[in-house]
Chain A
């Protein structure tokens, strides 16, 4: 009988040699005349163990990792096809504490199924949510999503049901569902993992959204930095069409839903919903003032649901298991689960799906096992490049939208980037402003000009020119950007800057040093050289 062996094709796994491991297993099995079926699954999200190879045995799936190409012969010698123990053996994968202590709802199948097998998807509970939705009136679907307490997982945390309700009641000949998979925040990779590891859950979630609001066309807007995710998503959509799960009559429901995946082109701002719509329409990704809300006048001027990928991928389980089931996870106004992504200088980096409410400390130490370098942790940035830097003393903050706002931070898309004690927060603050200058869409002055002025002011602070007065000036500038910017890029970039000054004042009070992360020449000319050096083709 053939033995099933799983080797992830998630791009993080590929980045540490999964392809070579898969080839070596196939060769070794062939040369030993053993019947092995290789399944290329997504990742379980325990990236320090990648490539994590699993073998299906009567006792369940047994994990081995991290497996190198060179170790494959030894695995065969020691009987890994029977799940036998050896030095790389992790035991039953589900029993690894990192996984066992999670609450995997959205990621229930990721790393388990073959991402491009719709049969596998259905065998693991796929399309049950859709079946439930087909039996309901659109309003009942919207009510269920609203009752579940699901909020936008892109960072803004807006109640999904309310957004859907607006689109449901908008009168139009055409409505759209747009999935924001422009996951540009450093420290986040949950969207990528779903696209590569369980793409059908997104297709199902978008189809349910379409049923709920009466849309017939959907777009997934992903990133040029994710070439692998794009290919998998594209293939999954083809398979869904071939099997009647997309098209004129979705799964015999009589409803039409067409879906396409599009690629961004390296512009961080296109993660902002109105920029994304501009980009999808074929224009520069410049933001649109709101109102009108995209829910009323979105893509091509039509009512549009714009949701983050994780939001949409969480919908099938809500429809399948009920609003209460989902709502019972979490704390306060943050219901359900958060997909925490441990990143940066962390020993056990990976995806942890937990009910809202676990503290930063527990995420970083219980799951993440501290820094990768072994040096003391000094700062964490939560929520991507627009999120605040927190010192160790704030690690008791629970992962909850409101708790982060109360401490002048932002939960964002759930990415946690850990820094050890070699970090210089003045440089990080400068980088925040520089990043904003590079990525600003140019629509509003506070962001377009303010970010460049911000780099200059921080350079002067670092160079110890009129430090006290320049710190005041920086504060003033940050206030202006917060209040005066049109969107979250200019409006939130003061968060990392001001949190760095507030929590790490000693880094702004050192003898003059060279300034930047990106541009060591900037101090000499006393002017940042943003576009010339870093983007010569602009």
Chain B
């Protein structure tokens, strides 16, 4: 992940603008590179796809996955859907919030960890499930949750 860079963003947009329905692939590419979609990207995308700023903004704000402000170096997704509820994910959420000192949707003050909720990671036979930086963890015990938070928030 790197800091916002308009030239880099422009290059990513160029790579993808030819695709039919290119907007979501472009937004995914920008979030992959920068961890979020900077407001400065909106006019670049609108220009490339010949759509209005409002249309671009409307799409960014519609989808839960797209962030409009920078995220931490690590991202922890906690599943809060029914299957994980049946195995106590709400306690897990409380514990993670306490351990990291932030609420769901927030980033730790040192910028190390963002914790977000998702609805289903497709690991429902091994609930409760989380994903840390794309790595899946199943049957997450309190110890494992603490370990994941600690390893993500350890000073670099």
Contact = CB atoms under 8 A, between A and B. Distances in A.
Contacts of A538: 61, 64
A48 B66 CA distance: 34
B10 interface: no
Interface in B23-61: 23-25, 27-28, 49, 55, 58-59, 61
Interface string B97-124: 0000001111000000000011111111
Interface in A324-364: 341-346, 349-351
A232 interface: no
Given A12-B138, A183-B120, A225-B121, 18 more contacts: A12-B123, A15-B137, A47-B126, A187-B82, A187-B83, A189-B124, A224-B28, A225-B131, A226-B122, A264-B65, A281-B21, A282-B24, A283-B55, A300-B20, A344-B127, A418-B86, A423-B86, A439-B119
Interface in A400-450: 415, 417-420, 423, 428, 431, 435, 439, 441
Contact of A345 (B21, B59, B62, B86): B86
A453 B135 CA distance: 37
A517 B79 CA distance: 13
B127 A343 contact: yes
Nearest to A384: B82
Contacts of A281: 20-21
Contact of A186 (B58, B106, B119, B138): B119
5 closest cross-chain pairs (CB), A and B = A349-B125, A282-B23, A186-B81, A343-B124, A15-B138
Contacts of A225: 77, 118, 120-122, 131
A351 B125 CA distance: 9
A267 B118 CA distance: 10
Contacts of A420: 86
B6 interface: no
A282 B124 contact: no
Given A186-B82, A268-B119, A263 B24 contact: yes
Contact of B87 (A47, A285, A372, A536): A372
Interface string B80-96: 11111111001000000
B136 interface: yes
Interface string A218-244: 000001111111000000000000000
The listed residue with most B CB atoms (<10 A of its CB), out of A15, A192, A280, A418, is: A15
Contacts of A385: 81-82, 119
Nearest to A496: B82
Nearest to B139: A16
Contacts of A342: 125
Given A15-B137, A224-B65, A385-B81, A534 B104 contact: yes
A417 B83 CA distance: 6
B22 interface: yes
A16 B138 CA distance: 6
A307 interface: no
20 contacts: A15-B138, A16-B139, A186-B79, A188-B120, A225-B118, A228-B134, A264-B63, A265-B65, A267-B62, A282-B21, A282-B59, A285-B62, A300-B21, A341-B124, A342-B125, A349-B125, A385-B119, A415-B124, A417-B86, A534-B105
Interface in A1-44: 11-12, 14-16
A91 interface: no
- How big is the B interface, by class? 35 or more
Contacts of B85: 428, 431, 517
Interface in A258-283: 262-268, 279-283
A53 to B, nearest CB: 17
Contacts of A435: 119
B123 A11 contact: yes
A11 B122 CA distance: 9
A472 interface: no
B129 interface: yes
B73 interface: no
B12 interface: no
A132 B75 CA distance: 47
A202 to B, nearest CB: 15
Contacts of B104: 533-534
B125 A350 contact: yes
Nearest to A284: B62
A253 B91 CA distance: 56
B68 interface: yes
Interface in A163-196: 183-189, 191-192
B14 interface: no
Contacts of B127: 343-345, 349
Contacts of B125: 12, 47-48, 189, 341-343, 346, 349-351
Nearest to B26: A282
Given A267-B62, A537-B67, A349 B126 contact: yes
B8 interface: no
A15 B126 contact: yes
A108 interface: no
Nearest to A345: B86
Interface string A498-538: 00000000000000000001100000000000000111111
A42 B143 CA distance: 28
Task: Please indicate which of the listed interface residues B69, B104, B126, B135 has the most CB atoms of chain A within 10 Å of its own CB.
Answer: B126
A284 B60 CA distance: 8
B124 to A, nearest CB: 3
A381 interface: yes
B83 A343 contact: yes
Contacts of A184: 119-120
A443 to B, nearest CB: 11
